[in-house]
Copies of this chain bind each other. A is one copy, B any other.
């Protein structure tokens, strides 16, 4: 049970239940009513705007009835029932977080030790079974990447992967792009260089939030794929030196790409992006397309470069990386706002053919949330 008290002349109420004391403002409660005049019963869209709620709104009466809280508002003279569980879940009367760099619930940061437990599923299973799909997408959301095995060795198969959860983000590179490498003794030295781990297209705003890389041929030794958790790297930087973390969050870097006719892509965003209340929401890291940094004042530039250098060292640290080989019919997807990827050097000749494309996280997280809503997973 519990009890409820109206305070401050009806400006808010205080609800005391087994969960402690939670205050809710009159305007917040009225705005979040779920009656059929406030919210469309079919799709849940709010039918009123804030302008439809009196600025003089106050709580006139409130009582707990079973699992509901009934609230009567003045001057409207309207009574709304709230589910006590819903109120508990949506309570906002709590101390504010002060530490910056927190991550959303459900995100698990990782380092090279995840190698023993790479998020992987079978293409046929996730295509044919919604529970398998839910579980694989949940891993992708948790770790920021995931691998699929046993898919068709067919050009365009990567689109079937995107159809599992969302929609292709077409860009100037097309709906998809080809990554073909002929590795022979004369160019082995070059292709053997590998690439530093990076996020793709930081010069795009918004960046493509998901990337799919799908393997169709792979006969050269080496050339493994490697991923690094950019959130883990950022948090390690914060642990080592909070000032370095701060400087990469508080100033914008610039990225640019003008490598083809008719294209001049540019962005101005921080390498480590926080929400205004300190959530770690994105990492951008790409030496190839980093443009001159001009938004850091002279007095902070040396610190900025020290931080940028150290972040790169952390990203390069083999202890951070998870490496796996893609064989034909295998692919991986990455959250391009979080997980950096790279290709290792080759150690033998042959060919490698991947197809890649971009997609977006909104679709992926929506598909996952809908599956989880329909089929809640057993508590972990």
Contacts and interface: CB of A to CB of B under 8 A. Distances in A.
Interface of A: 11, 23, 25, 27-28, 31-32, 42-51, 55, 90-96, 167-172, 196, 204-207, 209, 249-252, 256-270, 273-277, 279, 287-290, 292-298, 301-302, 305, 308-309, 312-313, 316, 360-363, 365-367, 369-370, 373
A302 B172 contact: no
A181 to B, nearest CB: 17
Contacts of A262: 367, 370
A245 B361 CA distance: 29
A256 B366 contact: no
Contacts of A43: 257-260
A279 B268 CA distance: 10
B196 A305 contact: no
Given A43-B258, A265-B362, A297-B95, A11 B274 contact: no
B302 A25 contact: yes
B289 A46 contact: yes
B28 A305 contact: yes
A259 B92 contact: no
A70 to B, nearest CB: 18
Contacts of A171: 167, 362-363
Contact of A290 (B23, B46, B268, B297): B46
A285 B370 CA distance: 24
A25 to B, nearest CB: 5
